[in-house]
Structure 1
Amino acid sequence: MDKNDTRTLVKYAALVIVFVALVLIEEPTSIPVCNINANTLEKCRSAVTGNNPPPPGEACCIVLQAANLECICKFKSHLPVLATKSSKVPDLLSKCGITTVPPACQASKN
């Protein structure tokens, strides 16, 4: 094997290592917001999207039960940007067994 073949082999090996590293890298971490990792709210998205959303899953309810709802609901007005309906939030909380709905989470006309 000559010098050029060795260099080519090293370049391919380095490329494979970089590719494997990219595949193995975990999902980017988000900044904790309102006592939860903001990425975990994605587990609830389907339950507040569309005209007839499905019931929330257990994972969604666990996230909501751990969250600071007073804090989260301050961001409720931004839900339409994400194609979600803020008017579905009180129903979502109820379906997750959360009986005390903070005023900021009360139904609106969105």
Structure 2
Amino acid sequence: MEGKPRSVALALAVVLVVATTMEMGLVSGAQGICNMTRDELMACKPCISTVKPVEKPADVCCTAIAHADLPCFCAYKNSGMLPYLGIDPSLAMQLPAKCSVPAPPQCK
């Protein structure tokens, strides 16, 4: 069971990286990814940052995760680039649990 939340969390972290690139203007489009807007994705980033991460996710982050397409995030679960992009994988793995969002059964 423990592997499923980790997969979703890592996938979420990768999507947050995409949001970061959108913020920097490298990717266009305001629609976001996996049913989360760019603003919702960016609201989650402070919790998984490698620099001064915050402990508690913002309400907008948890609300967005609760309505996100979590199986979509599973497609990003194996990225090894997270630490290089300022994302702490350990913190990313904790984000769904901090938001009380269960992992979907499709994520393995």
Displacement, 1:81? Answer: 4.2
Deviation at 1:85, TM superposition (A): 1.6
Offset at residue 42 of structure 1 (A): 0.5
TM-score by length of 1: 0.55
Q: C-alpha separation between the residues in 1 aligned to 2:39 and 2:74?
A: 16
Bigger Cα Rg: 1
Contact 2:51–2:86 (CA under 8 A) maintained in structure 1? no
Matches within 5 A, 1:1-110: 29-50=29-50, 53-54=53-54, 55-76=56-77, 77=79, 78-100=81-103, 103=107
Gaps of 5+ in 2: 1-27
Structure with the largest fraction of helix = 1
Q: Which has the higher contact order (CA 8 A, sep 6+)?
A: 2
Contact 1:34 1:71 in 2 (8 A): yes
Aligned-pair identity in percent equals: 29
1:40 deviates by 2.1
Residues 99/47 of structure 1: CA separation in 2 closer, same or farther (3 Å cut): same
- Cα distance in 2 for partners of 1:101, 1:94 equals 13
Q: Please tell me whether the aligned partners of residues 30 and 38 of structure 1 are also in contact (alpha carbons under 8 angstroms).
A: yes
Count of matched residue pairs: 77
Shift of 1:99: 2.6
- 2:75 is paired with a residue whose SS is helix
Contact 2:50–2:83 (8 Å) recurs in 1? no
